[in-house]
């Protein structure tokens, strides 16, 4: 098999099967985004591979880690060497003694990411998204991060670890002032670290707030549809279902006008019970608007309501990636043209190796 195809199939399979690693090397257990997983650099791509969830016990893959090097094995036979990022900025702390890795973490190979406020109004209610782990990693990270601290970490991560972009996310807050908080963080990062920044939020009541974010220096945004299947969304993310798909589409369209084609993305989670047709049709709708549908297999976060979920098979994911990649090519969308965030990072989706 050609090397390119080998890497492509391996990334898909790792995201679906996970990798077994000795306990101390498993990575971050909880939190928003890619928790319960480990970043592995394989040739010219990077994968955020599940390590903690229950289904990982059945994975044929194991990883032996020695510092920043790893040997990946399948059924105990060596298949390739990989690199494991070892961020130097993790060793630093602020003047007040807050360790940098309680403020932000390295995602993928070159992305600094943080959940600015680790609270969500829906957490203790029936409306909580079942796949989310936003409040689970409190303690190992700060609940609320200050803009100046994030900017300080970003500058160090850029200087010491060649970090090239930043992802900021936030829970849904009571007073709906997420945009203001994100904007302050972006302004601080832009002033001190001067690198591209991606922010993620729900469809805003006042879409014009996106212009404020643009003025503060935001380069790319993510507004996450999660699933195109209404009934599934109602069950898995009831608060999002209440917002309604039309408002998502309006917000995404507005965002493309502000930030440009290819600079707006939307997570589409596979493995919630949806049909492949709904995924392909939905991705086509988004791509035709200039939005990059960031297709990912569900990665169950330990401690979340979906901790026992099992990701879709690599065969199914491969077919979906192939179809979505051909839509992306047709619409002239590519991770390579995206300036910052998950699409640029590409660790949670294998779309990059199918484009
Ligand atoms: S794709 Fe996004 S959520 Fe996944 S590791 Fe990268 S920045 Fe984090």
Number of folded domains that form the chain: 1
What pLDDT does 135 receive?
A: 87
The pair of three-digit structure tokens given for residue 112, joined into one six-digit string: 């600094």
| Helix H or strand E segment including 14 | helix 3-17
pTM over 0.85: yes
What pLDDT does 177 receive?
A: 85
| Ligand 1 site-directed mutation target among 28, 111, 168, most atoms within 8 Å of CB | 111
289-345 confidence digits (pLDDT tens): 999 999 999 999 888 999 999 999 999 999 999 999 999 999 999 999 999 999 999
| Other C-beta atoms lying within 10 Å of the C-beta of residue 307 | 18
CA of 25 to the centre of ligand 1 (A): 19
Q: Answer yes or no: is the C-beta of 111 below 6 A from any ligand 1 atom.
A: yes
CATH code where residue 106 lies: 3.20.20.70
What pLDDT does 112 receive?
A: 98
Residue 77 phi/psi, 5° resolution?
Answer: -110, 130
For the chain, the average pLDDT equals: 94
**Which residue's entry shows tokens 């080998």?**
6
Q: How far apart are CA 229 and CA 185, in angstroms?
A: 34
The pair of three-digit structure tokens given for residue 274, joined into one six-digit string: 């949806």
Q: What whole-number percentage of the chain has pLDDT above 90?
A: 88
| Ligand 1 site-directed mutation target among 33, 295, 351, most atoms within 8 Å of CB | 33
68-81 confidence digits (pLDDT tens): 999 999 999 999 99
Query: Of how many residues is the chain composed?
Result: 355
204-239 confidence digits (pLDDT tens): 999 999 999 999 999 999 999 999 999 999 999 999
Band of residue 139 on the pLDDT scale cut at 50, 70, 90? confident
Q: Do 190 and 158 form a contact (C-beta atoms < 8 A)?
A: no
Q: What whole-number percentage of the chain has pLDDT above 70?
A: 96
Q: Answer yes or no: is the C-beta of 345 below 6 A from any ligand 1 atom.
A: yes
Atom of ligand 1 nearest to the CA of 343: 1
Q: Is 76 helix (H, G, I), strand (E, B) or coil?
A: coil
Taking CA 261 as the corner, what is the angle to CA 289 and CA 211, rounded to the nearest 5 degrees?
100
Domain hosting 78: range is: 3-353
Least confident range from 34-43, 107-116, 290-299, 317-326: namely 34-43
CA of 170 to the centre of ligand 1 (A): 14
Q: Find the DSSP H helices in 226-341.
A: 230-236, 238-243, 245-259, 276-288, 314-330
The pLDDT of residue 24 is above 90: no
């Amino acid at each position: 098999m050609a090397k390119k195809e080998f890497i492509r199939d391996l990334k898909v399979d790792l995201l679906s099967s996970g990798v077994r690693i000795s306990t101390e090397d498993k990575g971050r257990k909880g939190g928003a985004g890619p928790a319960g997983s480990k970043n592995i650099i394989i040739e010219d791509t990077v994968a955020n591979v599940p390590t903690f969830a229950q289904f990982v016990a059945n994975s044929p893959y194991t990883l032996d880690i020695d510092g920043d090097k790893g040997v990946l094995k399948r059924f105990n036979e060596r298949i390739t060497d990989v690199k494991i990022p070892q961020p130097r900025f993790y060793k630093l702390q602020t003047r007040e003694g807050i360790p940098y890795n309680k403020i932000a973490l390295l995602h993928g190979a070159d992305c600094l990411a943080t959940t600015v406020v680790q609270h969500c109004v829906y957490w203790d209610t029936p409306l909580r998204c079942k796949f989310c782990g936003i409040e689970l990693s409190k303690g190992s990270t700060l609940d609320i991060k200050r803009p100046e601290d994030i900017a300080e970490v970003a500058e160090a991560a850029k200087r010491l670890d060649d970090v090239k972009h930043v992802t900021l996310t936030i829970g849904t807050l009571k007073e709906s002032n997420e945009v203001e908080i994100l904007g302050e963080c972006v302004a601080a990062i832009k002033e001190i670290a001067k690198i591209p920044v991606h922010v993620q939020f729900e469809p805003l009541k006042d879409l014009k707030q996106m212009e404020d974010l643009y003025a503060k220096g935001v380069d790319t945004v993510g507004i996450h549809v999660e699933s195109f299947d209404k009934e599934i969304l109602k069950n898995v993310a009831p608060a999002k279902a209440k917002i309604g798909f039309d408002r998502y589409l309006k917000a995404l369209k507005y965002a493309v006008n502000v930030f440009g084609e290819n600079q707006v993305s939307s997570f589409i989670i596979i493995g919630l019970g949806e049909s492949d047709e709904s995924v392909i049709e939905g991705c086509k709708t988004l791509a035709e608007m200039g939005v990059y549908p960031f297709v990912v297999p569900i990665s169950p976060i330990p401690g979340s309501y979906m901790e026992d979920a099992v990701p879709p098979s690599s065969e199914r994911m491969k077919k979906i990636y192939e179809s979505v990649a051909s839509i992306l090519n047709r619409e002239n969308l590519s991770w390579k043209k995206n300036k910052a965030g998950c699409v640029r990072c590409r660790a949670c989706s294998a779309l990059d190796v199918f484009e």
